[in-house]
Structure 1
Amino acid sequence: MTQHTTPVRDPRLGRIIAATPAAVAGVVLLLPSGPPDSDRRPRPLADRRTRALARRLATEGSAHGIAAHVVRYRCRGWNGTRADLAQDAAWAADEAVRRYGDVPVCLAGLGMGARAALRTAGHPSVSSVLAVAPWLPEEGDDAGPEPVRQLAGRQVLIVHGTDDERCAPGLSFRLAERAKKSNRDVCRFEVHSDGHALAQHRAEVLALSADFVLGSLLGTGFSRPVTDAFAAPPPLGLRMPLASGFGRSLRR
């Protein structure tokens, strides 16, 4: 009987969003979400939220030399200790350096892609991480708590809705709390009364994300300052626990 094996697929970078900058000053790699376990081929198109963020970053960043790519995974799932999405994110960071040279890289992930971004932050080319509604394992799992040592020296922004029923917001709070002990440049924004898709404050979340990515890659100030937690009530339902020192330490 003839046996058929599943062909090995390689990760790849999707086409650059918008026009290629004349001189690339930084790269943002968009990491879509996925299920905990699946060897199936990823869908041809990234989910809508990932592409919406990619377009926003490309629109605001191309004039400043920012190249944006959506990462195409080998398969859909994280798949336990294989951590396939994190492996593909690391490959994408290597590929960005190969294409563009020694430029800073921001990993921007959503859901399971946010976990991949956080896990891969220790890559030498990565300078910042944006994690939107990250899927994280329960801390009682056999694998233990999600690591945070790789976040040292990186600028990290976590954005999570308080009513997220798919990815527990309490887990991202505890991860940020642990990471904050060794890295002042960690901020976690809570979006009140919003769910996993962050649809209620979509425009504000996109603006916040774009501001962080461009500021962290270009080394410029942020137009939306982040100050000590609960120092003043922020607008538009956004709250800033674990933000202490973030704005001051990241300003240029």
Structure 2
Amino acid sequence: MPLEANQTMKNPGRPGLFRPALLSPGMFARRDSAGLIVLVLPGGTDDSRKPFSAWQGSALRMYPFTWSLRLRYGRSARVHQVRYRVYGWNGEDNSPMLPARAALDEMCRRHPGAPVVAIGHSMGGRVAAQLAADRRVIGVLALAPWWQHADWRHIQPGARVVAVHGDADERTFAKRTRKGIDELSAQGVDAEYINVPDGDHAMLDHVGLWQRSALDFVGERLSALRRA
């Protein structure tokens, strides 16, 4: 089932507002301390070899999350929006996982000892869940996730998991997401489900709720690290 093929933002804004440098290798140039690493994972589609573009709708949709997190948390959280090589998951190829794991490894190399949270929308939620098999990942925020084959079962027990899903989503399934959270909770994982009333897949409704979920999640993880 295609998730976001040929889908673009309705009001992406002026092109000049988007800066390719945000996704360039130069963002890894500094090696310094950080309280937390945040990987922002865009969506995609089930089958596509189309090269991933920094200007496509799924990438544009996540820039406000990336920018607001950087603005709010400064040097406490190092935020990187991942860019895949191709647009699709592509079956057993698991196409987005290689670049996502490479970004995880590189950010951890640049910020030794800093734990990681993964924030993913749609296909990015699937990527986030599979990344969380790595014990460096202490949190997953899944936004309308495409949890296709019980992907939540990859998440290691020590992680905090929050899933936010709109009950009007016709591209991915809120009931499946809730099932995943219920299963994780039953296993003792710190997992929470947040419903978005009448929320659609693209997150263009209830914008404040979607954006706040990311800000709150990162703030919560930073606070937990400080307490520890």
| TM band (smaller chain) | 0.7 to 0.9
> Which has the larger helix fraction?
2
**Counterparts of residues 187-202 of structure 1 (less than 5 Å):** 187-202=192-207
| Structure-1 separation of matches of 2:163 and 2:25 | 26
**Secondary structure at the residue paired with 1:151?**
coil
Does residue 84 of the first structure (1) align with residue 95 of the second (2)? yes
CA-based RMSD: 2.5
Task: Kindly provide the amino acid, as one letter, of the partner of residue 100 in structure 1.
Answer: H
For residue 166 of structure 1, what is the aligned residue in structure 2?
Answer: 171
Question: When the two structures are superposed, what TM-score results if normalisation uses the length of structure 1?
Answer: 0.73
Q: Deviations over 1:95-146 (max 9, x none)?
A: 1111111101111111101110011101131111111011122xxxxxx543
Give yes or no for the alignment of 1:146 onto 2:162: no
Identity of aligned residues (%): 29
2:91 is matched by which residue type in structure 1? Answer: G
**Deviation string for 1:213-241 (max 9, x for gaps)?**
122144269xxxxxxxxxxxxxxxxxxxx
Matched, 1:59 2:64: no
TM-score, reference length from structure 2:
0.80
Q: Does structure 2 retain, via aligned residues, the 8 Å contact 1:41–1:74?
A: yes
User: For residues 183-219 of structure 1, what are the alpha-carbon distances to aligned partners after superposition, in whole Å with 9 as ceiling and x for unaligned?
Assistant: 3310110001111123221112211221111221442
Indicate the residue corresponding to 1:73 in structure 2. 84
Max Rg structure:
1
Unmatched segments (≥5 aa) in structure 2: 1-22
**Unaligned residue ranges in structure 1 (runs of 5+):** 1-12, 138-143, 222-250
C-alpha contact (below 8 Å) 2:32/2:110 kept by paired residues: no
Counterpart contact for 2:145–2:172, Cα < 8 Å: yes
Asked whether the equivalents of residues 33 and 112 of structure 1 are also in contact (C-alpha less than 8 Å), the reply is: yes
Structure 2 Cα separation of the partners of residues 151 and 145 of structure 1: 13
- Residues 116, 149 of structure 1: CA spacing in aligned structure 2 closer, same or farther, 3 A cutoff? closer
Q: Distance in 1 between matches of 2:188 and 2:214?
A: 20
3-state SS of paired residue (2:151): coil
CA drift of 1:163 comes to 0.2
